[in-house]
Structure 1
Amino acid sequence: MVRAGGQGLARVAVVVRAGAGPLWWLGVFAAGIGVLVPGLTGRRIGVLAGAALFIVAAAVVAYARRKRYAALIRSAARAGKHDVLQDRAVAVRNWRRGHRWWLLLVFLAALGSAFAVPAAGGMLLAGCGAGLRLKAAWLGRRERAEDALLWVRVDWLDGRGGRPAGKAVKAYRSTGIAAGDAAPGGARRRTAELV
């Protein structure tokens, strides 16, 4: 429960990283199944097209909205003493619950595309997951450089889990580097870091 005057805060990098795992593994699984289907173009063309889509998707997702993120980082205010920091597991669970139907639809679309271009849809999906991981790593480097972790108000996220750089987000909050249970970049803290 949030105290009067405080806000629930979720880590920006955790929310960004939350979709990386599901997209990567669903993409790998869809590509693995898709390569078994000869498709209209044949396996070789499908895999080559998929490799190109993987690289393009990873780059586009990793670099998308960086100016918006940078502007929000520059305007970050210090978190208040009554603000409640959301656990990493809660932020990840909220994102995945809020996007579960969307994830199912894109997985089915990736599988269906294998009948036209084998493996390409799955590799595109995996590329999106890799791009999110790269974006979270970039945020982690910014957090280390600033020596501060970045947080976003939970009520500003669009839907359940939401977009940490969406139109509703006005500014980020910051805390010391040791706050919360996630390391810079949104990964779990190692046991040595928690002691």
Structure 2
Amino acid sequence: MARGGQGLARLAVVVRAGAAPLWWLGVAAAGIGVVPEGVTGRRIGVPAGAALFLIGAAGVALARRGRYAALAREAARAGKYDVLQDRAVTVRAWRRGHRWWLLLGWAVALGSAFVVPAAGGMLLAGLGTGLWLKAAWLGRLERTGETLLWVRVDRLDRRGGRPAGRAVKGLRGTGIAAGDAAPGGARRRTAAVV
């Protein structure tokens, strides 16, 4: 980067990047997974899947909140020469880096349907829901502090994951209008020009 600036990716966008693929792969695996009777049968498989959905969603949504909150409190102001990465670039990097894990998870969820119908797919969908809930929580944190949170791209691993991992020593903050993603990592809605 010019003059010592850093490439920065939105924290909430990195967290949210896996939500849609996990959700849709989970829904597809659960839908297909209802077809085989499995070892346990559908009467056990579907309620077990619903329980796994709730456990997965809650576990992912609540995991490491203390770490995220601590990093947010200590966020330094972004520098003049820091480069803010576009939302689409961040999402693409995460999904490209995790594509084999996503496919493996989908294959395992499909395979588990022959033992417990639909349960693996519902768990996968729950993990995606948990990521979405965590990103929404980060969005509330950003709105409360009126600061968008950014993580240095070089502190993320090459796959674009682990936004609050051990390598992340701190976050950067910008004004609420910076970048092309709204608080929470969703696409920023622009007002129509009249």
Quickly name the TM-score band, shorter chain normalised. over 0.9
Cα separation, 2, equivalents of 1:99 and 1:4 = 32
Count of matched residue positions in the alignment of Structure 1 and Structure 2:
194
Cα separation, 2, equivalents of 1:194 and 1:150 = 28
Is 2:99 the counterpart of 1:100? yes
Which TM-score applies when normalising by structure 2?
0.98
Sequence identity of aligned pairs in percent?
Answer: 78
Aligned residue identity for 1:30: A
Q: CA deviation at 1:194?
A: 9.5
Is 2:191 the counterpart of 1:184? no
Q: CA deviation at 1:159?
A: 2.3
Q: Does the 8 Å contact 1:109/1:121 carry over to 2?
A: yes
Q: Find the counterpart in structure 1 of residue 39 from structure 2.
A: 40
SS at match of 2:38: coil
Closer/same/farther in 2, CA of residues 88 and 32 from structure 1, 3 Å limit: same
Q: What residue ranges of structure 2 are gaps of 5+ in the alignment? A: none
Q: Find the counterpart in structure 2 of residue 121 from structure 1.
A: 120
Q: CA deviation at 1:97?
A: 0.3
Q: CA deviation at 1:162?
A: 1.6
Closer/same/farther in 2, CA of residues 82 and 194 from structure 1, 3 Å limit: farther
Aligned residue identity for 1:65: R
Aligned residue identity for 1:170: K
Q: What residue ranges of structure 1 are gaps of 5+ in the alignment? A: none
Closer/same/farther in 2, CA of residues 7 and 194 from structure 1, 3 Å limit: farther
Runs of 4+ in 1 over 6 A off after TM superposition: none
Cα separation, 2, equivalents of 1:106 and 1:130 = 15
Q: Find the counterpart in structure 2 of residue 80 from structure 1.
A: 79
